[in-house]
């Protein structure tokens, strides 16, 4: 018998716990040539802002040992264009659409959350609190507990759709940040975003990417992400979406066992466009082999 793989994240029911990580799956379209997107638990869209954003100057990516550095700079097409040009296509699939979003300041976060709340076809909001706007105090909302508290509170007020907070790993105590989200009414948290990192070209003595610092992703950071998910899951009740270097079903299962309710496949999509599919299949096989009838019986079963 096929085991149950349905999980609940806030008000969303995902047919399986595998979603795509924001920024690594474009607007879905790009991957629809490889497989049926309806098979996914959910699609998380590339970070959206109210207005289109050009992003950072190239070069934007660089390969590191078992990882990659990126400084895309949150390039995106903006809310209106997204709703007009991308959403209709996405609605054709039987999966959940989660929109990752950000603003230049708290006001923009609130405004965009309001609009997304009223947008048909958007099932949930993932709030990226590692917004890299250097001129804004609010840029630090992912790093400073007080700012995070206020930001989540304000955004929570304007949406009753499932609100997920995507946290930055650049903190001492990820559990504290997770707890703040829970206390302020967030429905779930996503862990982790990329880790700030740098590579220097020793010939030019400059960063190998357009910005000095980029975000590290891929298998290299997986053990760090897993530790954070485990730490957070011990203090919050709300679901956690585990993210970071997940390539195979085994990787994903580690996160589920550590306490994640769902997982997002990120950099792996670049290496193999079918990664998310293979993770879904592999999880199912594992459940069958281990005789686990419901994936929810596996989640958080790690013993210290």
Partner 1 sequence: MNKINKLKIIKNQALTDEIHLLSLKVSDPLEAKPGQFFLLKMNERYDPLLGRPLSIFDLEGDKISFLFRVKGKGTKILSKLSLGEEIQITGPFGRWYPFPQGEFAVIAGGIGIASVFYLIKKFPERAYLFYGARNLSEILFYEELKNLCKEVFISTECGRGEYKGVVTETFREKGLKLNLPIYACGPMIMIKELRKILEENQSNLQCFVAVEERMACGLGACLGCVIETTEGFKRVCTEGPVFKIDELKL
Q: Using CB under 8 A, list all residues that contact a second copy.
A: 64-67, 69, 143-144, 170-173, 195-200, 202, 205-207, 212-213, 216, 218-224, 226-227, 230, 245, 250, 253-254, 257-258, 286, 301-304
For ligand FMN, the binding residues in 229-268 under the rule CB under 6 A are 243-246, 266-268
Quick one: which of 29, 62, 61 has its CA closest to 45?
A: 29
Contact by Cβ (8 Å): 166, 128:
yes
Quick one: which of 12, 17, 14 has its CA closest to 279?
A: 17
Q: What's phi and psi for 154, nearest 5 deg? A: -70, -40
Instruction: Indicate the residue among 8 and 281 with the shorter CB distance to partner 1.
Output: 281
Quick one: which of 157, 144, 71 has its CA closest to 109?
A: 157
Distance, in Å, from the CA atom of 19 to the CA atom of 17, rounded to the nearest integer, reads: 7
Quick one: which of 300, 67, 106, 76 has its CA closest to 195?
A: 67
User: Which of ligand FMN, a second copy, partner 1, none binds 194 (CB below 5-8 Å, type-dependent)?
Assistant: ligand FMN
Please count the other Cβ atoms lying within 10 Å of the Cβ belonging to residue 29: 13
Near ligand FMN by CB under 6 A: residue from 5, 22, 56, 233: 22
**CA–CA distances in Å: residue 204 to residues 57, 132, 183, 197:** 17, 25, 48, 18
Instruction: Indicate the residue among 10 and 215 with the shorter CB distance to partner 1.
Output: 215
142 binds ligand FMN (CB under 6 A): no
DSSP letter, residue 66: T
Instruction: Indicate the residue among 120 and 304 with the shorter CB distance to a second copy.
Output: 304
Name the active-site residue from 21, 40, 112, 131: 131
Residue owning tokens 């980029």 = 214
User: Which of a second copy, partner 1, ligand FMN, none binds 54 (CB below 5-8 Å, type-dependent)?
Assistant: partner 1
User: Which of partner 1, a second copy, ligand FMN, none binds 96 (CB below 5-8 Å, type-dependent)?
Assistant: none
Quote the least distance from Cβ 12 to a second copy, whole Å: 25
Q: What is the CA radius of gyration of the chain?
A: 18
Instruction: Indicate the residue among 62 and 230 with the shorter CB distance to partner 1.
Output: 62
193 binds ligand FMN (CB under 6 A): yes
Quote the least distance from Cβ 214 to a second copy, whole Å: 8
Alpha helices in 65-162 (DSSP H): 79-81, 87-90, 106-117, 145-158
User: Which of a second copy, partner 1, ligand FMN, none binds 286 (CB below 5-8 Å, type-dependent)?
Assistant: a second copy
Near ligand FMN by CB under 6 A: residue from 152, 166, 168, 207: 166
Residue 181 is among the residues annotated as catalytic for this protein:
no
Distance, in Å, from the CA atom of 36 to the CA atom of 215, rounded to the nearest integer, reads: 29
Catalytic residues: 131
Q: Which residues bind ligand FMN (CB under 6 A)?
A: 21-24, 46-47, 70, 72, 74, 100, 128, 166, 193-194, 217-218, 221, 243-246, 266-268
């Amino acid at each position: 018998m096929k085991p149950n793989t349905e999980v609940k994240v806030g008000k969303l029911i995902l047919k399986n716990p595998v979603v795509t990580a924001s920024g690594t799956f474009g607007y879905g379209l790009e991957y629809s040539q490889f497989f049926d997107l309806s098979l996914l638990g959910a699609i998380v869209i590339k970070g959206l802002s109210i207005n289109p954003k050009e992003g950072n100057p190239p070069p934007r990516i660089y390969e590191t040992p078992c990882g990659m550095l990126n400084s895309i700079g949150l390039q995106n097409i903006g809310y209106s264009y997204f709703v007009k040009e991308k959403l209709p296509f996405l609605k054709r699939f039987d999966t959940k659409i989660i929109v990752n979003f950000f603003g230049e300041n708290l006001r923009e976060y609130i405004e965009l959350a309001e609009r997304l709340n009223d947008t048909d076809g958007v099932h949930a909001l993932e709030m990226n609190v590692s917004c890299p706007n250097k001129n804004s105090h609010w840029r630090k909302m992912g790093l400073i507990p007080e700012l995070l508290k206020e930001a989540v509170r304000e955004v929570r007020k304007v949406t009753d759709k499932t609100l997920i907070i995507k946290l930055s790993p650049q903190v001492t105590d990820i559990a504290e940040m997770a707890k703040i989200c829970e206390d302020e009414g967030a429905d779930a948290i996503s862990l982790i975003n990329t880790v700030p990192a740098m590579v220097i070209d020793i010939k030019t003595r400059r960063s190998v990417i357009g910005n000095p610092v980029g975000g590290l992703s891929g298998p290299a950071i997986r053990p760090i992400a897993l530790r954070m998910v485990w730490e957070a899951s011990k203090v919050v009740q709300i679901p956690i979406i585990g993210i970071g270097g997940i390539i195979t079903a085994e990787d994903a299962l580690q996160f589920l066992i550590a306490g994640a309710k769902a997982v997002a496949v990120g950099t792996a999509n670049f290496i193999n466009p079918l990664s998310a599919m293979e993770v879904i299949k592999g999880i199912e096989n594992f459940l069958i082999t281990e005789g686990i009838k419901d994936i929810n019986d596996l989640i958080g079963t790690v013993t210290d």
